[in-house]
Amino acid sequence: MRPVQRRQQGLQYGLYLLCMQAINFGVDRIPPATLIGVILQALLYTGLIKVPWNAEDACISAVKLFKYRDWRSFIVSNFEHGSDMHLYYNMVSFILKGSYLELMYGTTDFVLLLALLSFGCSTMYVFLAYVLMQFTGDYGYYTMCAIGFSSVLFALKVITICEEHDRSHDIGGLRVPSKIAVWVELALIHLLVPNSSFVGHLGGILVGCLYCYTFVGELIDNLIYMITGIPVIHEEQFYRRRNLGFR
């Protein structure tokens, strides 16, 4: 999402909806890393976590990286949000995806995977913006600025679909095959939410595809294992272990 004016402190409607959704889902059913991630991003949005930047200053763009060497935005842009409803939709999506994937991968591996996905999504966003500027001659791609967790969520959605294999998905009331679900969602969001970042969402999808369908995924799993000492367990392995009584 493109950055807007700095949020105001206080319980806005989107935050209220987020609290209600978390309660309805069951706070006790949300794994710890996912729950902490939701809480920290909500506190960051409200300003209760004091940081030395404004939300609009934290947005990521190719020009900020290549020309101004603004590496802070490369890291923090994924965790800032432009409005309370932007935060609400992203965190509800995160609760659903995190509750599935964190349970499967384990908290430690899931946290490290999130960190690597965040880095990958920022890299992909800057890369796509630069390439699009070169191919189209439109300098707007080079300067466009975006914030939000959406790109990471799109990467998580690809991974979730990959783990679930051929289950159909509900996208805006439409039942679509899993293979095209993320692409349908990308198109719908682009059409229905004009202020959304198409390049950011596309970048998240590509990062998720790299993890699921190329050798990059194996490299990331091996790196996570080297750091944590805990192997990344995917769906078939996860259910096989659970059926045998392992935890």
pLDDT at position 245 is 44
Averaged pLDDT, 178-199: 86
Is there a contact between 146 and 202 (Cβ–Cβ < 8 Å)?
no
Confidence at residue 247, expressed as pLDDT on a 0 to 100 scale? 43
Q: In the chain, what percentage of residues exceed pLDDT 90?
A: 63
- Mean per-residue pLDDT for 74-90? 93
Position 169 pLDDT exceeds 60:
yes
Per-residue confidence (pLDDT) for residue 179, from 0 to 100: 78
Going by pLDDT thresholds of 50, 70 and 90, the confidence category of residue 144 is: very high
Q: What are the phi and psi torsion angles at 167 (to 5°)?
A: -75, 145
Which of the following is catalytic: 118, 150, 151, 197? 150
**H-type alpha helices, 47-83:** 62-66, 71-76
CB-based contact 120:72 (threshold 8 Å) = no
Is 201 known to be catalytic? yes
User: Of these residues, 81, 86, 169, 201, which one is catalytic?
Assistant: 201
**pLDDT class for 181, splitting at 50, 70, 90?**
confident
* pLDDT of 5 higher than 60: no
Q: Which residue segments constitute the domains of the chain, with CATH numbers given?
A: 13-245 (1.20.1540.10)
Indicate the pTM of the whole model: 0.89
For residue 127, CA distances in Å to 16, 62, 142 come to: 36, 8, 10
Least confident of 34-48, 99-113, 188-202: 188-202
Is residue 90 scored above 70 in pLDDT? yes
Where is average pLDDT lowest: 19-28, 108-117, 171-180, 186-195?
171-180
Residue 190 annotated to the active site: no
Q: Is the confidence at residue 4, as pLDDT, over 50?
A: no
Contacts of 116 (CB under 8 A, 6+ apart): 220, 223, 224
CA atoms of 116 and 242, how far apart (whole Å): 27
pLDDT tens digits, one per residue of 31-70: 999 999 999 999 999 989 989 888 778 999 999 999 888 8
Rounded distance between C-alpha atoms, residue 82 and residue 62, angstroms:
19
